[in-house]
Amino acid sequence: MKKIILLFLLFAIYSNINSQIFKEPYYFVGPDEMHVYIKSNDTLYTSTTFSLKLDNNKKYRSHFKIWEQKENPSDIVIMKLESLDSIPLTTEPYPEDRFRIFVYKKNSGKELTMINDISHLTKQQMAAFNTDTIQVKNNIGMKLYSFTYMKELLKLKKVTTKNDVDKINEELNDPRYLTIIEEYKKENKLPDPYASILTANLINTACLNIGYSPIGANFSMNIISSDKKAKEKEEIITEFYKRLNP
């Protein structure tokens, strides 16, 4: 009887971890680079990348053991995690407070938004944390696009000329983007010391609103606005977009 109960519990845990979330990689399209999140069994890997080509998980930047994953309510996904990365040059490479909780909002089948990162928890604090108390009033945070959606976004118009830059900047001058900034400042619960998440939110939203691909948009805007010669700008941007293809 005990063996049956144990097998049932193990099956429940396995089914919980292997739910529909992160069935494929998800990308954060940042202002300078992309970050990809890949789940493999009970491990979540994250890497910095400039391409949609999927490398093996040996090239990760950080990785986490997934202790628990659940949806609460149906559009909220909560992950209890343990950082598996050691801290170099320290007497405590694996600190006791290496546990954390990621909270995601499901926007659609194509998008997730990480809306909270509850970090510096001990194992006991993580295990005892009552995730039913987590309240979500908005979807302000780090927007992640699925690999399938990223391939769709690559088909949109790319930023290659000064005219493209001017159109995006004109869109960003719309007063509604000031509202996005104010809401972000008020509601954001993620660490963002360099405002990279906010910058990504603004530029990606502007690009999508006027039919441009957000992938590589900020990079190209910076190159086009630089003092480099026209031919050099063209070569850099062309090579950049070549590298993106999966």
C-alpha 38/C-alpha 54 separation (Å) is 10
C-alpha 100/C-alpha 78 separation (Å) is 11
Is the whole model's pTM more than 0.85, yes or no? yes
In whole angstroms, how far apart are CA 145 and each of 107, 112, 184, 215, 235?
A: 10, 7, 19, 11, 27
pLDDT given at position 58:
62
C-alpha 172/C-alpha 164 separation (Å) is 13
The three-class DSSP label of residue 161 is: coil
Judge whether 98 and 87 are in contact, CB under 8 Å.
no
pLDDT given at position 3:
45
C-alpha 179/C-alpha 195 separation (Å) is 16
C-alpha 7/C-alpha 43 separation (Å) is 21
pLDDT given at position 15:
40
C-alpha 212/C-alpha 232 separation (Å) is 23
Amino acid at 30: G
C-alpha 98/C-alpha 96 separation (Å) is 6
pLDDT given at position 59:
75
pLDDT given at position 91:
86
Judge whether 145 and 153 are in contact, CB under 8 Å.
yes
The whole-number mean pLDDT for each consecutive block of 10 residues of the chain, a chain of 246 residues, reads 42 45 91 92 93 74 94 84 92 94 90 95 96 85 96 96 98 97 95 95 97 97 96 95 84
pLDDT given at position 19:
53
Least Cα distance to 165 among 116, 109, 220 occurs for 220
The β-bridge partners of 2 are none
